[in-house]
């Protein structure tokens, strides 16, 4: 038997939803727009990926400071921006790949000092990599291919001392690769193909 539920129906069927700490669904036929979830003030993990959710209602999650993991990857009708996401001061993991979210990564994300993973493939950012931007965080993975990033990679990327993987391939970046990246002793993978970079080395 296959169940087809709207997200609103799922929320109404969940016992004590307002005290839920984790909501995780993968490859599930959950459809419809994400309702306002800002009342789930105990929520720490929201990872609903490869479902059929739509709309920008998930942005209400930006008002839940307890959130540690936010993932909506693979929902290709999810829309909205990252404006206000800096309120998630405890966020450690952010997964937005394969959505219709757009707009720049806010400079205020630099205040998210616990953020470790960013995955935002195929978002339409269409902006420069801001400086300063995320350079005080313990970021270890930053994957953002095909996001329409422009400009040069800032030298302050060299301050991300915990960075292990960076993928900025298939964007519109230009300029030279900053020498400061050589300071990143934990860096294991660099993918920059499909850009207009003057030169780069794979680490």
Domain boundaries, the chain: 53-197
Map tokens 């040069």 to a residue.
Answer: 152
CA angle, residues 39, 43, 47, in degrees to nearest 5: 115
Does residue 160 carry a pLDDT above 60? yes
Q: If you average pLDDT over each of 59-63, 107-111, 132-136, 157-161, which comes out highest?
A: 59-63
CB-based contact 46:21 (threshold 8 Å): no
Does residue 15 carry a pLDDT above 80? no
pLDDT for residue 85:
93
**What are the b/e assignments for 37-74, b being 16+ CB within 10 Å?**
beebeebbbbbbbebbbbbebbbbbbbbeebbbbbbbb
pLDDT for residue 6:
45
Give 200 or 143, the one with higher predicted confidence.
Answer: 143
Does residue 70 carry a pLDDT above 60? yes
At 130, is the secondary structure helix, strand, or coil?
Answer: coil
pLDDT for residue 5:
42
Query: What is the DSSP code (8-state) at residue 171?
Result: S
CA-to-CA distance for 86 and 94, rounded, in angstroms? 12
Q: What is the mean pLDDT of the chain?
A: 81
CATH 3.80.10.10 fits 53-197, yes or no: yes
- For the chain, the residue count is 203
pTM of the predicted model as reported, rounded to 2 decimal places: 0.81
Residue 187: how many CB atoms within 10 A of its CB? 18
Percent of the chain whose predicted confidence (pLDDT) is above 90: 27
CB-based contact 191:168 (threshold 8 Å): yes
Mean pLDDT of 31-37: 84
Map tokens 């030169």 to a residue.
Answer: 199
């Amino acid at each position: 038997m296959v169940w087809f539920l709207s997200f609103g129906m799922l929320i109404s069927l969940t016992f004590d939803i307002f005290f839920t700490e984790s909501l995780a669904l993968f490859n599930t036929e959950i459809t419809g727009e994400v309702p306002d979830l800002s009342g789930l003030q105990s929520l720490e993990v929201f990872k609903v990926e490869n479902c059929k959710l739509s709309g920008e209602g998930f942005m209400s999650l930006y008002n839940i400071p307890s959130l540690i993991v936010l993932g909506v990857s693979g929902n290709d009708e999810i829309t909205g921006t990252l404006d206000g996401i800096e309120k998630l001061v405890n966020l450690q993991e952010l997964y937005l790949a394969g959505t219709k979210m757009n707009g720049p990564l806010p400079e205020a994300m630099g205040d998210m000092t616990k953020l470790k993973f960013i995955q935002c493939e195929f978002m339409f950012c269409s902006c420069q990599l801001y400086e300063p931007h995320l350079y005080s965080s313990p970021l270890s993975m930053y994957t953002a291919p095909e996001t329409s990033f422009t400009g040069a990679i800032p030298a302050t990327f060299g301050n991300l001392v915990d960075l292990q993987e960076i993928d900025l391939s298939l964007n519109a970046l230009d300029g030279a690769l900053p020498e400061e990246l050589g300071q990143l002793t934990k860096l294991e993978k660099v993918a920059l193909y499909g850009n207009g970079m003057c030169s780069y080395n794979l680490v």
